Amino acid sequence: MADKVPKKTIGQKNNNTSNTIRSMLFILVLICFGAFLISTFNKSGTQKTEVPLSDVIRRANDPNGDIAKITVTGQNLDITLKGKDQPTETSRKDGSGTLYEQGLVNHCIDLEGEELKKCEEQYPKIEYKEDSNVWGIVLDVALTVLPLIAVVIFFSWVMRQAASANNQSMAFGKSRARLYGPDKKKVTFKDVAGNESAKQDLTEIVDFLKNPKKYEKLGAKIPRGVLLAGDPGTGKTLMARAVAGEADVPFFSISGSEFAEMFVGVGASRVRDLFSKAKKNAPSIIFIDEIDAVAHKRDARGGAGREDEQTLNQILVEMDGFDNDSGVIVMAATNRVDMLDKALLRPGRFDRHVNVTLPERKDRLEILKVHFKGKPVDANVDLEALAKKTAGSSGADLANIANEAAITAAREGHKTISNHDVTEAFERVAIGPERKSKVMNEKERKITAYHEAGHAVVGHVLPDSDPVHKVTIIPRGSTGGVTWFLPPEDRSYKNIYELKDILARAMGGRMAEKLIFGADAITTGASADLKNVAELAKSMIVEEGMGANLRNIVFPGEETGYYTITTGKPYSEKTAEVIDAEIKKLSDEAAKRAEDVLKANKAVLDKLAEELLAHETLEETELEPILKSAKLPTIAKLH
Ligand code: ADP
Ligand code: MG
Ligand code: ZN
């Protein structure tokens, strides 16, 4: 990554500054200490007792009091007692008003002759002396002001120390914020396949960065914050870099998760630094990746930490402080818009939303083409077929498949990437690598064959299930075998019948084992299936409102912040029981339907298992003749 800022220089500069400050601080401490010594010496040198001012005033106003004379010098009162010729006591005036206002009244003022003499025998003579002791004043000032200065300097020194420590050891701020300047390999919209609507939205941003004047002249409000929202791996980061590449402006990026590992206060100062750098290099783009890591709802349960909150606040402050013509656009990416603090989405902040979606079939083909470009591929490699069977995959998954295909080809010693390498890469990415070395005894192979055949037969027979694409009993990843179903086309929605068929075909494996080997012989091989059933059934009830008794009702909690106190969930204890019952009902129904289908098609099940034991893997064309005689029993019909 291009790093525009020479780290060393910054670190040393800060070091020099802090050295100067340190010696200044040392001298100050010496001065303070000296001043303190002199002043105490000054006072104790004449051995006067210090008495409180209120006491002095009380005694001075008493006609029979013991004070003969009070000499006021600046803040100091020297008290000479009757019958003494030297002051033996001392007191200090405090800051609140004059001595007169505080009650030290000169009783003998305006008196003359005998009267004055008599008065002075009773009340003290009060003398105000010019404060000729310059050192005394200096000391007074020094003692009050210097500690303050020292404290201020000390704190700023500590702050700088912390900042420069971060600069060196943590690669703080300046050195960590990454800059993809024009010298970095440029990413443009050409590198981002598909996602046409998102690209269209962003073209406007690019245009603004290129010709800000055009917009200013028309008085258009320039967007400040653009939020890219979409599933992981859909190309949000790529898209943000492409915007910078298209506009040919510097790109400053930081990831929300990086803030999490920072010391207190560092997140906020990193944000400050990032923004100031971007402003200096305007027009430019600031990109905050995974912004949900710092900007999750402050009031959500578990709440944002204080540190995150500071970082988030700093982002908001910086964005609010932008001039309309600052020429800096802030982009951010998140997988979870619903989790973001609402303050972030207000006008003037991230008010532009661009949705980056999972690619459709034709987009998947485009992405595959981008990533297979420049790789030597056999003529028979069918990217269209691959695009077809990768419904639900993200751009990152597809990039991964392309890369795995090249790796597989290299490992197998091929000169070019074959169709088999591509298929292998797809399955590896989807499930995990084949484990041919894993030993399975004959009994286990037979169980696996029936298990997979069970999935296949149920899936094939049920009317709302996708067609079976491939069945294998070669272990892969953590599974003993795999049955692939092919989504015939991309769809945005699934209806309840399709979901119930998915549940039933997932149960097909376990039910086949039960049917063939007996209820006591069921194995651990179905745990993943059962987990999938549980998860899907739960989301059907809790998220989709598909329960028989909980139809059209869901229980949002996270978004609304609504939780009942007793359960800590957004529903009551009673509803929790209903939900559990609904989930059980769905999975019981699925198991029953799978069993009914298999019982009605036992001959097909046997035949398929036998073929699997013989060939291990069966493709669509080989499955077709075996499965075509299977029938849907009326009992398993839903509609
Ligand atoms: P996100 O930020 O949404 O999680 P990324 O931008 O990090 O996703 O994508 C990861 C990788 O996946 C990219 O580097 C790129 O190789 C690939 N990729 C994702 N989407 C696309 C796309 N639309 N076109 C081309 N490649 C893509
Ligand atoms: Mg990303
Ligand atoms: Zn299974």
Domain with 58 in it: 49-132
The residues whose Cβ lies within 5 A of ligand 2, an ion, are: 237
| Cα dihedral value 368, 373, 376, 382, nearest 10 | 30
Check whether residue 238 and residue 379 sit in a common domain.
Answer: no
Residue 77 forms part of a structural domain = yes
Q: Which ligand is closest in space to the CA of residue 232?
A: 1
543 is catalytic: no
Check whether residue 459 and residue 485 sit in a common domain.
Answer: yes
Check whether residue 103 and residue 72 sit in a common domain.
Answer: yes
Check whether residue 261 and residue 366 sit in a common domain.
Answer: no
| Closest ligand 1 atom number to CA of residue 356 | 3
pLDDT digits (tens, 9 = 90+) for 49-76: 888 888 888 888 888 888 888 888 877 8
Whose tokens are 């009340």? That residue is 123
Closest listed residue to residue 405, CA positions, set 423, 425, 385, 420: 425
Residue 153 forms part of a structural domain = no
Residue 142 forms part of a structural domain = no
Contact status, residue 59 vs residue 106, Cβ threshold 8 Å: no
Domain boundary among 132, 164, 198: 132
Q: Give the DSSP H or E segment for 198.
A: helix 196-210
CA distance 151 to 148: 5
Tokens of 345: 């989405």
pLDDT confidence bin for 3, thresholds 50/70/90: very low
pLDDT score of 172: 41
Residue 148 forms part of a structural domain = no
Q: How far is the CA of 268 from the CAs of 257, 275, 530, 540, 609, in angstroms?
A: 14, 11, 46, 42, 62
Name the least confident of 23-27, 79-83, 91-95, 581-585. 23-27
Contact status, residue 92 vs residue 53, Cβ threshold 8 Å: yes
Say if residue 290's pLDDT is above 50: yes
- Ligand 1 pocket check for 253: Cβ under 6 Å: no
Q: Which ligand is closest in space to the CA of residue 194?
A: 1
| Tally of CA atoms within 13 A in the half-sphere of 308 that contains its CB | 20
Check whether residue 518 and residue 569 sit in a common domain.
Answer: yes
Check whether residue 262 and residue 375 sit in a common domain.
Answer: no
pLDDT confidence bin for 323, thresholds 50/70/90: confident
For residue 186, the domain's CATH number is 3.40.50.300
Check whether residue 472 and residue 620 sit in a common domain.
Answer: yes
- What is the 203 CA–ligand 1 centroid distance (Å)? 18
* Number of neighbouring beta carbons within 10 Å of residue 95: 5
Catalytic residue among 366, 452, 582, 589: 452
Residue 238 forms part of a structural domain = yes
Residue 375 forms part of a structural domain = yes
Check whether residue 227 and residue 350 sit in a common domain.
Answer: yes
pLDDT digits (tens, 9 = 90+) for 506-537: 999 999 999 999 998 888 889 999 999 999 99
| Closest ligand 1 atom number to CA of residue 234 | 3
Residue 216 forms part of a structural domain = yes
For residue 548, the domain's CATH number is 1.20.58.760
Greater model confidence, 328 or 450 = 450
Tokens of 148: 């303050």
For residue 422, the domain's CATH number is 1.10.8.60
Say if residue 133's pLDDT is above 80: no
Rounded to 5°, the CA angle 364-369-370 comes to 100
For residue 65, the domain's CATH number is 3.30.720.210
Residue 41 forms part of a structural domain = no
- What is the 187 CA–ligand 1 centroid distance (Å)? 12
Q: Which ligand is closest in space to the CA of residue 358?
A: 1
Total domains present in the chain: 4
Check whether residue 425 and residue 460 sit in a common domain.
Answer: no
- What is the 376 CA–ligand 2 centroid distance (Å)? 28
Strand 328-334, strand 284-289: pairing: parallel
Check whether residue 369 and residue 340 sit in a common domain.
Answer: no
Is 176 in a helix, a strand, or coil? coil
Domain boundary among 117, 132, 147: 132
Domain boundary among 355, 388, 419: 355
Greater model confidence, 143 or 239 = 239
Maximum Cα–Cα distance across the chain: 141
Q: How far is the CA of 91 from the CAs of 57, 99, 392, in angstroms?
A: 10, 12, 87
pLDDT score of 181: 43
CA distance 497 to 462: 10
pLDDT digits (tens, 9 = 90+) for 167-197: 443 444 443 455 544 445 788 999 999 889 9
CA distance 175 to 169: 11
pLDDT score of 1: 36
Check whether residue 403 and residue 421 sit in a common domain.
Answer: yes
Check whether residue 186 and residue 290 sit in a common domain.
Answer: yes
Greater model confidence, 530 or 13 = 530
pLDDT digits (tens, 9 = 90+) for 208-255: 888 888 888 888 777 889 999 999 999 999 999 999 999 999 999 888
- Ligand 1 pocket check for 583: Cβ under 6 Å: no
Q: What is the pTM of this model?
A: 0.63
pLDDT digits (tens, 9 = 90+) for 455-505: 999 999 999 998 999 999 988 877 889 999 987 666 778 899 999 999 999
Tokens of 388: 């077809």
